[in-house]
Chain A
Amino acid sequence: MSAALDRRAAELLPAGERLTAHDAAVFALRVKRDAAARTEPDFERLREQARAIKAHALDHLDVYLERFEARAQAAGARVHFAADAADLQRITLELLAAKSARRVVKSKSMLTEECRLNPHLERHGIEVVDTDLGERIVQLGGEPPSHIIMPAIHRTRADIGALFEREMGSAPGDTDPGRLTAAARRDLRARFLAADAAITGANFAVAESGTLVIVTNEGNADLGMALAPLHIACLGIEKVIPGVADLAVFLRLLARSATGQPISAYTSLVTGPRAGAELHVILVDNGRTRLLANQRHRSALACIRCGACLNTCPVYRRAGGHAYGWAVPGPIGAVLAPALTAGDELRSLPFASTLCGSCSAVCPVKIDLHDQLVAWRGSDSPRAPSARRAARWAARVLERPALYRLAGRVTRALWPLLERRFAANPANAWLAARELPEHPGASFRARFRRRARPEDTP
C-alpha cells in the first residue's frame, strides 16, 4: 500500500491539465527566484550571512526574546506568551472579548494556520475574514491554503470565477483576474472599514528595537493595522532576530527567494501601537522549544517562510500542498512536522522525498533541508513494523556474501514471475507505472570472474 501522501496526491491533484498547470505555476516561481538571484551579486554571500545570523539568534534566543519583549512593551505593545495552539486560541479569544470585537480581518500567518485559529474563533461567534486574496479564495472555498506564499495556486481562474460569482456577486462567467480582484477589493474594503480587530502574523521581530516586521504585496496587513482599534500579531518565537542591521539581510533575500521581486510592495516596521489603538503581540511555542533543544534538527527554525523550497521540489509540484495534510507543506513542512506535530502520518513526511537536494540549494538561509530529511528518517520518524522487519532481514542477507549471491540467483530465477500481474506480486508498486528491468542474466560478479584474469583469482 503506497503512502497516504501519494494516495492523496492522486485524489486531490489529478493527473492531466490541473497537474500540469500546478507544476508550471509553481515552477514559474522557481524561475523568477533564479532570475533575481542571478542579478544580485551579493546573493550567495547574503545566504551565508543569513544562515549565520539565524544560527546565532537561535542559540541566544533567550536573550533576544526577553529583549524584544522589553523593548516592545516600552513602545506600548502588550506581549503575551502562548505555550501551544490551545493557548494561542484562548489568548486571542480573550483579547477580542475584552474589546467586544466580533469582526476580524486577518492577513497571512502560517502560524495561525498551524494553530487552527480561524475555526476556533468562528466556533465562538467571531467573524474572521482572510484579507490576502489567495487566502480569501481558499477561505470562501472552504479549504486550507496549499502554498505558503500563493495560497490558491492550485485553483484555476475558472474555479475562482465560479466561486466569486457565488460568494461575491461577480459577473457570471467572468474569469478575468483583474475584474475578479476588483470584486474582492470592493468586498474586502467594506470589511476593513467595519473591522473591530486586525490579526496579523509577523515575518520578523527585531529584538533591538521591539519592532515587528510585516511584509505583504497587497497592503492588506497595513490596511487592517491602520483601521482597526485592536491589532493582534501572532508569531513563532523563532522569528526573533537580533538587530535592525540583521533585518536588511533577510529583507534582501525574502522576496527574491519567494517571488523574484527585490522587495515586496509593503514592508512595515511596526513598533508599538498606533495612537488611540492597542497592539498585542503573542509569541508562540507550540513545539519550537523542543526543536530548539534538538541540536541536530534545530536549523529548521531558521526558516523565513519564503516558499522557495516548495517551488523547486518535484514532489510538492506534482502532489500539491493539500496532499501533505498539514499547514506547512513541501520540504520545510516535512522537516518541521516530526517536531511540531503528533501522529504517524505527519511525522512520516520526511519519507515523502526523493532527496534530490534542490531544496537545500535554494533555501535563502541555507537550512540543510535534505540532510534534515535523512536525519529524521533515521531518528524519529515512524516506520512501519513490516519495513523494520524487511530491513533487518535484508541487512542479514547483505552481510553474508554467500547468502546474498543465493538471494540474487533466486530473484533472477523468479524474475519471469515478478513480471506478471497478480495480487501478491511484491513488484506491484513498481509495475503500476513502469516495466521491470529486463531479465538480468548472470550477475556482474559471475561475469567478471569468467573474464579469467590472473589477478582476479582469490
Chain B
Amino acid sequence: MSTRDDLLARVRAAVIHAAPAPEPFEPAHRRSDFAAFAAQLAAAGGEGIGPLAGAALRECVADLCRRFAPAERVLASDAALLRLGTGPWQPIPSDSTPHALADVAVAILCGSMAVAENGAVGLDGREARPRALPVICERLVLLLETRRIVPDMHAALAQLPDGALAHHHFTFVAGPSKTADIEGELVLGAHGPRGLTVIGIDG
C-alpha cells in the first residue's frame, strides 16, 4: 500500500460520518454601495474614488498616473484600456519578463467584483496577467463597476465570475501590501504595492 492509501485508510478508520453539515449561513443585512465599500478600503490603507464615468474617469486615472510615474512605467490591461482609451499608460507587453515587470510603477486593472464588508476587490486570474503584475507594481489602480459590489463574503463567494476558480487564481485584494511585524507598527508596501486606488465606475 502506498503512503496515500495508508493515510486515507487511517482517516477512514478514524471517522464516523455522524456530524451533519450545518444549514447555509444567513448573514445580517448590510450596505453594498460604493461609499460603504470605500470606507472599508480606506481603513485598509487604500483609497476609493468615485463613482465616475466617461471623460471624468479618464482624467482621474490620468492625473493619478502622472503623479506617480512617466507613461513608460504605467501599464494597463486590455479591459482597462477599453474603459479608458488612450492616456499616459501603455498596454501590457505580451512578452513581459519578470524583470521588466519589476520596473512597473503603476498597474491599471479591472476588478471583477468588490466586497463592502471589508473593502476587498476580486481580481480574476484572467485579468491579472502576468500573475505578478498587481503584486510587483509600486501602485495598483483598480477600476470597479459599482454594480459589482456585494455586501459580504457569502455573496462574493456565491457570485464568483464563471470560471474564476478554473483559471489558476482569483485574489481578493484589500488595500496595499502591508506589515506590522516590527513592533506592531503598520508599514504599507511590504513586498507588494505601497498604494491601492479603486476607482468606481457608474452604470
Contact = CB atoms under 8 A, between A and B. Distances in A.
Chains A and B in contact, CB within 8 Å: yes
Interface of A: 25, 28, 41-42, 45-46, 49, 52-53, 55-56, 58-63, 65-66, 75, 80-83, 87, 131-134, 137, 150-153, 155-157, 160, 177-178, 180-182, 184-185, 188-189, 192-193, 209, 211, 217-220, 222-223, 225-227, 237, 242, 244-245, 247-249, 251-252, 259, 261-275, 283, 285, 289-290, 292-293
Contacts of B158: 244-245, 248
A219 B190 contact: yes
Closest 5 CB pairs of A and B: A219-B192, A262-B118, A293-B14, A226-B132, A134-B181
Contact of B190 (A193, A220, A252): A220
Contacts of B203: none
B8 A268 contact: no
Among B13, B17, B179, chain A packs the most CB atoms within 10 A around the CB of B179
A162 to B, nearest CB: 13
Contacts of A227: 98, 131-132, 136
B31 interface: no
Given A226-B131, A262-B119, 10 more contacts: A53-B21, A59-B16, A134-B181, A153-B184, A218-B190, A219-B135, A244-B157, A252-B152, A262-B43, A267-B172
Contact of B12 (A52, A62, A270): A62
Nearest to A41: B28
B181 A150 contact: yes
A228 B102 CA distance: 14
A137 B189 contact: no
26 contacts: A42-B28, A53-B22, A80-B4, A81-B7, A81-B8, A83-B3, A83-B7, A132-B181, A133-B179, A181-B179, A219-B190, A223-B132, A225-B169, A245-B157, A251-B153, A261-B44, A262-B117, A263-B174, A266-B172, A266-B192, A268-B170, A274-B168, A283-B7, A289-B14, A292-B14, A293-B14
Interface in B17-51: 17-22, 24-25, 27-28, 40, 43-44
B156 A248 contact: yes
A381 B117 CA distance: 44
Nearest to A215: B172
Contact of A82 (B3, B102, B169): B3
B147 interface: no
B178 A248 contact: no
A193 B189 CA distance: 17
Interface in B174-196: 174-185, 187, 189-193
Contacts of A45: 25
Contact of B135 (A58, A134, A223): A223
B164 interface: yes
A61 B18 CA distance: 12
B22 to A, nearest CB: 4
B160 A237 contact: no
A257 to B, nearest CB: 14
A218 B165 contact: no
A437 B150 CA distance: 61
B177 A265 contact: yes
Contacts of A247: 153, 157
B194 to A, nearest CB: 9
Given A82-B3, A177-B185, A227-B132, A263 B120 contact: yes
Interface in B95-122: 98-99, 102, 115, 117-120
A133 B168 CA distance: 26
